[in-house]
Amino acid sequence: MGIDSCAALAARRQLSATILFQHCAWLIMCLPTSICMAHEVADGPDALSHATAMPSGPDQLAEVIITAEKRESTVQSTAISLTALSGTELAARGLTSIVAVAEETPGISFRSAGPGQTEFEMRGVSSTGGSVGTVGFYLDETPMTPPSFGAIGKVVINPDLFDLRSVEVLRGPQGTLYGAGSMGGTIRVLTNSPALNRWDVSAEAVLSDTAGTDGQGFNRGANLMLNVPIRDDSMALRLTASSHYRDGWLDRIVVSPFPFPASPCDGFSGCERGDVASGAFSNLYRRTNWARTDTIRPTLLIEPNEQLKITLSMFYQRTRMGGYDTVDVPPGCESDRPCGHFQPLDVPEPFSDTVKVFSGVVHYDAPFARLTSATSYWTRSEQQTQDATEAFQNILALPQFVAVPNPETDHSEQFSEEIRLTSAGEGALQWLGGLFFSNFHYLLAQNLTSAYFSDPVANPSGQLYVIRFPYDTKQYAAFAEASYKLTPAWKVTVGLRAFRYQSTVNATESGLFTPNGDATPFEDSVETSNHGLTPKLNLAYMPNPDVTLYGTASKGFRPGGISEPLPVSGPASCLPSLRAIGFDANAVSYGPDSLWNFEVGEKVRLMDRRLTIHSDVFFIRWNDIQQVVPLSCGYLLEANSGQARSYGPEIELTASVVRGLTLSINGAYTKAELSHPASFAGQPGQPLLNVPKYMGAASLVYTRPLRGGLTLNSRVSTSITGPQWDIAYAPQELPSFALTNLRLGIAGDHWSAALFANNVTNRIAIQTINNTSLSLNAPTLTRATVNQPRTIGLDLRFDLH
């Protein structure tokens, strides 16, 4: 049965919530709602600790203060395409994850199998190919996007969005200021700085129910922030802690007897999966994709004098899951059967992700410039196991199913240092320049063994695939950017980043699915390096504070990579598949790719600043694109696949319709395709993977003062994701889907309470496929990531300043 069968899950997942929740949900749907705009007052000239600027008149829209260009500015005055949400607005919208932010932001898409397993794309710059992400990710001043191989190389951390200053989404290449990992764009998560001379306390509790295969799943979470002044005017500590448990809604089903695949093809014993959903279930594990995330974030601020500011911070987060957010296709989700992963033998699929970040940022203000030093060190460890039983039986045509758990450990760590000097004052010439260095270490380890495959001589322990894959990358860069006001209305900005990187791998592999085909170690050492320049040119016209017109030409760059060797001998040999597309042996490395981005855009404020319209049109030319090429042996080849292009419009509109009612609409249309593909990569016009054809979101918020100093806040939002292509054993087109959320709250001076209903239509949509594949892909099975079903809950918050 096809992917669309998962939509049938909604028919049987009806809520059994209390009468209170039912009536409150109905009340929410009957209320007009809109985006909560944060009207915060910056209480000093240094607005780095403030998320929004105060509107100057009634019903005017507030504006977020940002540091996207590594100096303070506003969204309106920054001549690049970006979306910024303040911490206050994140809380008002009920957005608790970067994925939730992406769903309401134009031009950004994602692939995910759960918390800590998400990779982002912007403007059609897909990261499906290659081993490095195309969207940079920053936690304050710390670059969290690794520059080289591995599952951790593209999936980003999942920081809790409680007590944030803002989230900034910068679209288009940001290579000048943010380096090689930002060829499609950059996401910045900015935390609140400690407040001197003030005690602050914030606490939040969130309780909710999610529709599951066997009734309700109970979710709960708690957040706490404590700001403690330590020394008058010079030292303060801010501590944020969070703990969240999300119950699962998918099952793990052990079927006995499990049907063998049928219709042999391409070296597999079968290309059609049997009817697993109608078999006898020997074990049924309900709601296995539960997730728990615990976070702690202490920050110490030291200001010994007006010129010197030192910020020391630590971020610790641990995420655990009982299974992936994926369902098997086929069978998909039938209305009268369990839904999730069907397996021949009992093989659990746990996942864990532990992140530790240590950073120190020093600002020194001289009369002519600010000197900044940003030092950071982080480690990340992921452990996961995926069930490979079906795939191994299929490729080896085994007469029985043999349990093959596929465990993988990914450990990475990075030290980075950036020193920059930023001009002070408001003169016609503004400039900054700096140096950057990072030292990244990565280790991939897999250990697939089974006694069934043992051979007393060649493979006594039954090794299938055992690998140690250490990967080291050093990066060096010098960057500069300067802007000059040609006239009071015209400003030109030029930027340049010169970089060099060096990568080394020393891999050791053994097992049936490695080049030697037995327990004899296969060793390989590869070194690669490259250097280059990423320029930027921007011309802006700002005749008044309410109009900004701009045009930009910028270059993005991504390092090359070193692939895991594919088996070219033995029963799982990929040599025939490689030769069929023009490769004679295993290609262990591939070159860098780069792109040029051209865009024109505008930002205007109309109707006495009660209406803002931000829009742009972009065109991207992508050279030597890193793409995955599916092989008939079940593996994916990483290769430079020719030239691609991406183009389309993006728009954000926000309007204060009447007092208390605000409308927001945004959208993007992206045409991303191969324009001059390599001979093995497809045909001209073939869509790039994981790029929705269109995306959009609309919301309404209604706020109204009540008696006793209370305020009513209500919101309805809808997001839509258009069709896109993804890849499992072969490329597949995923259908479009739409999700709707509702929220109704009351707030007092120091507290707030809100009822929310997420995914009110209970739409179960396919978001991505096979992005958790650790081993070979089989034509019989696609594992599809699905969104969370209808979730209704209560959000309680207390703030004391």
Whether 227 maps to a domain, the answer reads yes
Output the pLDDT for position 337: 81
Whether 785 maps to a domain, the answer reads no
Q: pLDDT class for 24, splitting at 50, 70, 90?
A: very low
Output the pLDDT for position 152: 56
Regarding predicted confidence, which is higher, 571 or 641? 641
Which token pair is 721? Answer: 């994701």
Closest by CA to 363, choosing from 404, 316, 307, is: 307
* Residue 46 reports pLDDT greater than 80: no
| Beta-carbon contacts of residue 424 (< 8 Å; ≥ 6 apart) | 365, 366, 367, 368, 369, 370
* Residue 86 reports pLDDT greater than 50: yes
Whether 686 maps to a domain, the answer reads yes
Output the pLDDT for position 58: 65
Whether 742 maps to a domain, the answer reads no
Question: Exposed, middle or buried: residue 201 (CB in 10 Å: 0-12, 13-18, 19+)?
Answer: middle
Report pLDDT digits (tens) over 575-606.
888 888 888 766 567 888 999 999 999 999 99
Answer yes or no: are the C-beta atoms of 79 and 61 closer than 8 Å.
Answer: no
Output the pLDDT for position 584: 74
Regarding predicted confidence, which is higher, 148 or 611? 611
* Residue 487 reports pLDDT greater than 60: yes
Query: Torsion over CA of 336, 340, 342 and 343, rounded to 10 degrees?
Result: -150
Report pLDDT digits (tens) over 618-634.
999 999 999 888 888 88
Answer yes or no: are the C-beta atoms of 205 and 173 closer than 8 Å.
Answer: no
* Residue 42 reports pLDDT greater than 60: no
Report pLDDT digits (tens) over 782-794.
999 999 999 999 9
Q: pLDDT class for 18, splitting at 50, 70, 90?
A: very low
- Least-confidence region, from 13-27, 235-249, 621-635: 13-27
Q: pLDDT class for 335, splitting at 50, 70, 90?
A: low
Strands (E), 81-234: 82-86, 108-112, 118-122, 135-139, 142-143, 164-171, 185-191, 200-212, 215-231
* Residue 236 reports pLDDT greater than 90: yes
Output the pLDDT for position 1: 38
* Mean pLDDT of the region 338-350: 95
Whether 23 maps to a domain, the answer reads no
Report pLDDT digits (tens) over 393-417.
998 899 999 999 999 999 999 999 9
| Beta-carbon contacts of residue 135 (< 8 Å; ≥ 6 apart) | 108, 119, 120, 121, 122, 125, 127, 145, 181, 182, 184, 185, 186, 187
* Residue 377 reports pLDDT greater than 60: yes
145 φ/ψ angles, rounded to the nearest 5 degrees? -95, 110
Whether 726 maps to a domain, the answer reads no
Closest by CA to 173, choosing from 162, 164, 185, 161, is: 185
- Least-confidence region, from 7-11, 165-169, 533-537: 7-11
C-alpha dist (Å) from residue 377 to 416, 420, 600, 732: 6, 18, 38, 40
Output the pLDDT for position 543: 97
* Mean pLDDT of the region 710-714: 97
Whether 740 maps to a domain, the answer reads no
Output the pLDDT for position 206: 97
Whether 397 maps to a domain, the answer reads yes
* Residue 798 reports pLDDT greater than 90: yes
Regarding predicted confidence, which is higher, 48 or 203? 203
* Residue 15 reports pLDDT greater than 70: no
* Residue 52 reports pLDDT greater than 70: no
C-alpha dist (Å) from residue 271 to 191, 264, 339, 748: 50, 6, 22, 61
Report pLDDT digits (tens) over 105-147.
998 988 888 888 888 899 999 888 777 789 999 999 999 987 7
Report pLDDT digits (tens) over 162-186.
999 999 999 999 989 998 779 999 9
Regarding predicted confidence, which is higher, 474 or 571? 474
Output the pLDDT for position 707: 92
| Beta-carbon contacts of residue 457 (< 8 Å; ≥ 6 apart) | none
Q: pLDDT class for 341, splitting at 50, 70, 90?
A: very high
Domains in the chain, number: 1
Question: Tell me, what amino acid is at 243?
Answer: S
Output the pLDDT for position 528: 82
* Mean pLDDT of the region 456-461: 90
Report pLDDT digits (tens) over 631-682.
888 888 888 999 999 999 999 999 999 999 999 999 999 999 999 999 888 8
Answer yes or no: are the C-beta atoms of 573 and 114 closer than 8 Å.
Answer: no
Closest by CA to 433, choosing from 371, 366, 363, 361, is: 371
Regarding predicted confidence, which is higher, 104 or 154? 104
Q: What is the CATH classification number for the domain harbouring 685?
A: 2.40.170.20
* Residue 346 reports pLDDT greater than 80: yes
* Residue 478 reports pLDDT greater than 80: yes
Instruction: Name the average pLDDT for the chain.
Output: 88
CA–CA dist 151, 483 (Å, integer):
38
Output the pLDDT for position 590: 84
Output the pLDDT for position 378: 97
Output the pLDDT for position 336: 73
Output the pLDDT for position 89: 92
Output the pLDDT for position 19: 32
* Residue 87 reports pLDDT greater than 90: yes
Output the pLDDT for position 34: 31
Output the pLDDT for position 389: 94
Other beta carbons within 10 Å of 47: 17
Structural domain boundaries enclosing 226: 51-690
If DSSP codes are grouped into helix, strand and coil, which group holds residue 443? strand
Regarding predicted confidence, which is higher, 556 or 266? 556
Which token pair is 269? Answer: 């014993």
CA–CA dist 569, 208 (Å, integer):
53
Instruction: Walk across the sheet containing 52-53 and list its strands.
Output: 52-53, 63-66, 73-74
Residue 79 DSSP class: -
C-alpha dist (Å) from residue 642 to 130, 584, 679, 680: 13, 19, 9, 10
CA–CA dist 37, 651 (Å, integer):
18
Residue 452 DSSP class: G
Answer yes or no: are the C-beta atoms of 414 and 440 closer than 8 Å.
Answer: yes
Regarding predicted confidence, which is higher, 67 or 32? 67
Q: What is the pTM of this model?
A: 0.90
